Chains A and B, each alone.
Chain A
Amino acid sequence: MRKAIWPTIALVVAVSMVLAACGPTPTPVPPTKPPVAATATPVPPTKAPEPTKPAALKVGLVTDVGKVNDGTFNEFAYKGMMRAVDEFKLKSAFIETLAPTDYEKNISQFAEEKYDVIITVGFMIGDATAAMAKKYPTIKFAIVDFAYAPPIPNVMGLVFTEDQSGYLAGALAGLMTKSNVIGIVCGKEIPPVVKFRKGYENGAKSVNPNVKVLGVYIDSFTAPDKGKEAALSQIAEKADVIFGAGGPTGSGGIKAAAEKGVWVIGVDQDEYFTTFRDKKPGYDKLVSSAMKRVDVAVYTAIANAVKGTFKGGTAVFDATNDGVGLAPFHDAEKNIPKAVQDKLAEIAKGMKEGKITTGVKL
C-alpha cells in the first residue's frame, strides 16, 4: 500500500509544474467584474461625462473591514468608482480588508502595482492613508469620511454633513411617531456616526419637543445580530420609529424592527434597494433613508483625477450640492400624511438655502 505514494507524489509534482507553466502565459481572459448588486438607484450625473484621452488611469479601492457587496458603505463607494470606470474607460481593482492591521499593506499593494488613484474607504483607515500618501507623493489618494488638518497635497478628503441627513431623518421620525419615543441604532462612536445621531436627535426635537430619543452605539459595523437586539429592546421601550446608522449593524436593526411592524429609516444608500431589495419582509415599513452620497464623492474624486483638476484638501458634500438628503418614501408613501411630507420638504429647502442649521458641533 505504502508504495502507492510515489506515483502520487510524481503526479503532484507534474501537475504543479503544469500549473506553474500556465501561470506566466498571458491568457487573454477578459477582466471579470464581481457581481454588483442589482440596485436601481439612478445616480444623477453631477458633471457632463466627457470621454477623455486614451491614457487609461488605474484606480484601486481599499475597503474598510468589510466587503464591496455589504449593502451600505463599502458597496456605495465601490459603485461610485465603477461608475467613473465605465464612463472614462478606466482600469480598476479592489482589495477587501480583513483586519485593520492590513490597511497599510493593502494600500501599498496598489502603490507597488503603479496605480494612479487610490480610494480608501472609512474613517478608521485615516492614519494609514496619510502615512502611505506621504510615502507615495505622486499617487493621488481620496479617502471617504476623513479630513486632514493641515491638508496633504495628494489626498482629497471626502466628508459629508451627516448631521444634515440625520436631522432630516429625525424630523421625519419626530413627525411620524405616535408614542413620542423614537430610536437610533448606531455603529462605532466615530465622528460620522456621532453626527448622524446628534442630527437625528436635534431634528426630531425641532418638530416634536416632547419626543424621547433612545440611542445606542455598537462597537462594530458588521454585527447585524447586535443591531437586531438593540432595535428590539428599543421597541420594547415603546419606540415606534427606528433609524439604523451603522452599516450592516444598523441594517440588522431596522430589518428586525420593520418585521415587527414599526417604521424604520435606513442610512448611506437608499436601503429600499439593498437591505429590503426585492421587497424583503418589512419593505413597506421603510419610510426613507438618510442618504450620504459616498458614490457621488468617490466619482467626483476620480473624475477630477481624469480631468487633471485633482486637488488635495477637503471636499464637503452637503445639502447644497445634494451630497446628503433623504431617499424617496417608496411603498411607505401612502401612509405618510401630506402635512408631514410638506413639512419635510420645507425643512430640506431651508437647509439647502442655509436658513436651517442642525446645531450639531463636534
Chain B
Amino acid sequence: MTAEAGKHRGIPWRKWVAAWSQRVSDLAIPFLAVFTALAIGAVVIWASGASVPKAYQGLFEGALGSPRGIAETLVIATPYTLAGLAVALGFRCGLFNIGAEGQFYLGALFAVWVGYSVKGLPIFVHLPLAILVGALGGALWGAIPGFLKARLGTHEVINTIMMNYIAVLMVDWLVNRKGPMWDSTSTVPRTPYILPTATLPQLVPPYRLHAGLLIAIAAVFVVYWLLWKTTLGFEIRAVGANPSAAKYAGMSVTRNFVLAMTFSGVLAGLAGAGEVLGLNRTLPAAFVSGYGFDSIAIALLAKSHPLFVPFAAILWAILRNGAGLMQIRAGISVDLISIVQALVIAFVAADEIIRWLYRIGKKEEIKEVVFTRGWGR
C-alpha cells in the first residue's frame, strides 16, 4: 500500500498500477540478485585467469543448450523442487527443517527396499506402493523431531541435524559390504536393483527425465492448496505467524508442529524415492546427494512460497548441471558455482543490498514471510 494509491481511492486503476508496480519490484529482486551474483562471479573468473565468456557460455549451454542438457536440468530440478517444498512448508509453520537430507535418505531407503524385495506385483500396484512407502519413510523421519518439539520443546534444528546423521550412517551400514541390504553379487556397495515394475517410467527416452517430475509438479499445487485453501493450512500458517495467538484462538500448536514436520518429511521422502525409482534404480553407499541441504537455500530464495519453489529449483539445477560443461570449456574450479549460489542467497536474504544497488524503493508493508522462531515456542 502506498500513499498515493490511498489518495486516489476513486480511481481503482491507479491503485492497481501502484500495486502492480510494487509487485514488479518485489519480483525483480531475485532476478537482480542472480544477475549481480553472476556479475561478481565473472570478476572471480577473470581474476583466476580464465575466460569469462567461455565459462558462462559453457554454464548455460551445458544446462539449456541441448535437449539432453534441458532434460538433465529438469532431472536435477525434480528432487530440488520436492525438497525445497519440504523446507518451505516447515518455514510456513515457523519450523526450520534442516532434516530434509535425512528424510530424503529414508525416502530412498524405504522405496528401494519395496522396489527390490516385493515381487510379483503389477506395475500399477508396485510402483505406487514403492512411492508411498518412500513417502512414509520421510514422514517418519520428519514426524519424530516434530513430535519432540511439540511435546518436549526440544529445538527442531538440533533434532533434525541428529536425525540426518542417524539416517546417513544407518543407510551406510545397511548398504555397505556385508550389510543386510548389500547386493552380494556386486563388488560395489549397493542394494540390489529394483524390479522393472517399481521403476518410474522415462518421459522422453532416451533422456533420463522420469515421471518423478510429474510428482514434483503435482506437489507444488498440492502444497499451495494445502496452505491457502484448507483449514489445516490456515492453522499451520497461523501457528507459524504467531504460536501464542494461534493457541489463544483455539488451535493446537503441538498438533500443527507435528503435522507440518510430517508433511515436510513426506515431500523430502518423495524426493528420495524419485531418485532411486526413476534414476539410480539402486541405493549405493555414499548416496550423499546434497539435495536436502541445497533445498534450504531454494526455500529461502523462493521466500517459502510453493509456487516460486520450482523456479528457484530450476535455477539451482541450471547451476549444478551447467557446471560440467563450464569446467570443460574454461577449466575453472567447480567452487565457482558455490560462490555464485552463496551470493544469490546473500542478496536475496539481505535484499536491502539489492534495493540500494538498483535504487528500488522500500516495501511499505511487511509481508507475511515467517522463517523460524527462536528457541522454545
On A, residues with C-beta under 8 Å from B are 1-2, 4-5, 8-9, 12, 16, 19, 22-25, 27, 29, 31-34, 60, 65, 67, 93-96, 98-102, 104-106, 108-110, 112-113, 123-124, 126-127, 188-191, 219
Contact = CB atoms under 8 A, between A and B. Distances in A.
Given A5-B360, A101-B289, A191-B187, A12 B332 contact: no
B305 interface: no
Nearest to A12: B35
Contact of A100 (B35, B169, B172, B286): B286
B51 A95 contact: no
B274 to A, nearest CB: 12
B187 A5 contact: no
B325 interface: yes
Contact of A93 (B50, B169, B328): B328
Contact of A101 (B49, B275, B327, B328): B275
A5 B331 CA distance: 37
B367 interface: no
Given A1-B361, A32-B51, A191-B187, A94 B286 contact: no
Contacts of A98: 290, 320, 323, 334
Given A112-B68, A219-B169, A5 B359 contact: yes
A95 B358 contact: no
Contacts of A104: 208
Nearest to B359: A4
Contact of B358 (A5, A22, A29, A94): A5
A27 B53 contact: yes
Contacts of B68: 108, 112
B24 A5 contact: yes
Contacts of A12: 31-32, 35
Contacts, number: 128
Contacts of A96: 327, 333-334
B346 to A, nearest CB: 19
Interface string B117-134: 000000000000000000
Interface residues of B, number: 59
A19 B172 CA distance: 46
Contact of B188 (A9, A34, A123): A123
A108 B288 CA distance: 20
A106 B279 contact: no
Contact of B56 (A8, A19, A124, A189): A19
B360 A2 contact: yes
B339 to A, nearest CB: 14
B190 interface: yes
A123 B320 CA distance: 23
B287 interface: yes
A99 B289 contact: yes
A100 B28 contact: no
A25 B57 CA distance: 10
Given A109-B328, A189-B177, A190-B189, A100 B53 contact: no
A9 B62 CA distance: 27
B66 interface: yes
A8 B284 contact: no
Contact of A27 (B54, B66, B328, B359): B54
Contacts of B35: 12, 16
B176 interface: yes
B34 to A, nearest CB: 10
B328 A113 contact: yes
A60 B329 CA distance: 11
A127 B186 CA distance: 10
A164 to B, nearest CB: 20
Top 8 A-B pairs, shortest CB-CB distance: A4-B359, A109-B324, A1-B361, A29-B51, A2-B361, A93-B328, A96-B334, A8-B358
Nearest to A16: B35
6 contacts: A22-B53, A27-B51, A60-B328, A99-B290, A123-B188, A188-B285
A93 B188 contact: no
B235 interface: no
B327 to A, nearest CB: 5
